[in-house]
Structure 1
C-alpha cells in the first residue's frame, strides 16, 4: 500500500473513532423509560393526566403550561422551552363552525397553523390553530409566519384568556368504576404485565383564546401525547 493509502486509512480510522466518541454527546433525550403495567402505575398515569388536564383548564396558555410540565418532570435538558415545529402542507380552511366560534365574517381571512409542540426532542402535543391575523399586531403575524415560536408565546402580550370548548381523556388507564374494585360489586381490573402500553394520544382539548375585551382571535385543537409521561414511573410495582 502507498504512503498516501496508509495515511488515508489512518485518517478514516481516526474519523470513525471521533464519531463514535462524539455520538453520545450528539444524542438527544433517551427513549422514555418503560412503566410496568400495574394497578399502581395505571393509577399514577390517570392522576398525572388529570393533573395536566386541570392545569390546562385553569390557565390561559397551553405553551406556558407545557413549559412548566417539561421542567417539573425533567423531560428535556434544563432550560428547555416549548418550540412549535410547524407541519407545512397541511393547511385546513376554517369551516362555518370555526368562523362562528371566532365571530369571524365569511370573508375575513383566517390562517391555519399546524404544529408539534416539543420540549427537547419530546413531542408533547400536536395542535391545529385557526387565528384571525387582523386581531394581532404586524409583528406577531410576522413572527408566526416566519418562525417556529409557539403561538402562546407570541401572543402573550395580549393578556388573553382561554375558554375551553371541549376537554376529554382520550386514554383511560383504568376502566370506569375502578374505584369499586374492592366493593360489593367488584370491577375487574387489568392484569399486571411487564410494560404499560400507552397510546400515542392521551388527552384532547378545544379552546378559544380571547382578548381582555372578549374578542375571540384563535381556536385551538390540541392533542396531548403520552410523552407527557416520559419519565420514570412514580410508583414502584407491587411486590
Structure 2
C-alpha cells in the first residue's frame, strides 16, 4: 500500500474542508476566535460552544505523561531562564466532548507558578490556560501558520507558537499548538 506524504495529507484535508463548506470561512472564523483570547483554552471553549461540539462545552487536557522533550537553548532563551533552571514539559490533546481540537507542546517554568498550580498540572486533566488563569497572563504570538509546523501532526489545519507572560513581563510558558480538523 502506498503511503501519502504529510504534505499530500494536509492538501487533501484542506480540499475536503473547502468542498464541505467548512474551509476558508471556517478557518477565518476560527482564527478570529483564537486571536480574541490570550488563552487557547478559553478560545477553544468558546469555539466548542459556538459549533455545538459537546454539551456542556468543557475543554479537557488529555495528557501524555510519558512524553518528554527537553527545553532547547532557544526555548530557554525565549523563557528567559538559565541552563540550570528547571523547565517542565506537558504534551496534551485538548478535547471537547469526543473531538480532539488541539495537540499542544508546552514548556513551562515551575518556579513562576504556585505550588498548587504545579500539582494540578501534573495530576489532572485541566488545561494549562485554566490552571494558570489567576496569573492574568497575556499571549505573545511568535508564529502562526496555516497547516502544520514541524512539531505538529500532518493533518493540522493551523499552528501557533506563543509565549505566555505574566503582567510584569515574565515568561511562564512557551507553547506550540497544533489545531486539528475537528475544529471545522
TM bucket (normalised to shorter chain) is: 0.7 to 0.9
TM-score after normalising by structure 1: 0.65
The one of 196, 206, 216 aligned to 2:161? 206
The structure where strand makes up a greater share of residues is: 2
TM-score after normalising by structure 2: 0.84
Deviation at 1:59, TM superposition (A): 1.5
Partner Cα separation in structure 1 for residue 113 and residue 17 of structure 2: 48
Q: Is the 8 A contact 2:147 2:155 kept in 1?
A: no
**Structure 2 regions of 5+ residues with no counterpart?**
1-14, 149-153
The one of 77, 98, 109 aligned to 2:75? 98
Deviation at 1:45, TM superposition (A): 1.4
Deviation at 1:39, TM superposition (A): 5.9
1:222-237 aligned within 5 A: 222-229=177-184
Pick closer, same or farther for the CA change 1:128–1:38 going to 2, 3 Å.
closer
RMSD in angstroms over aligned alpha carbons?
1.8
Pick closer, same or farther for the CA change 1:38–1:224 going to 2, 3 Å.
closer
Aligned to 2:11: none
Partner Cα separation in structure 2 for residue 115 and residue 216 of structure 1: 20
Secondary structure of 2:26 counterpart: helix
- The number of aligned residues is 165
Larger Cα Rg: Structure 1 or Structure 2? 1
Deviation at 1:52, TM superposition (A): 1.6
1:35-184 aligned within 5 A: 41=20, 44-76=22-54, 78-170=55-147
**Structure 1 regions of 5+ residues with no counterpart?**
1-35, 172-198, 230-239
Deviation at 1:201, TM superposition (A): 1.3
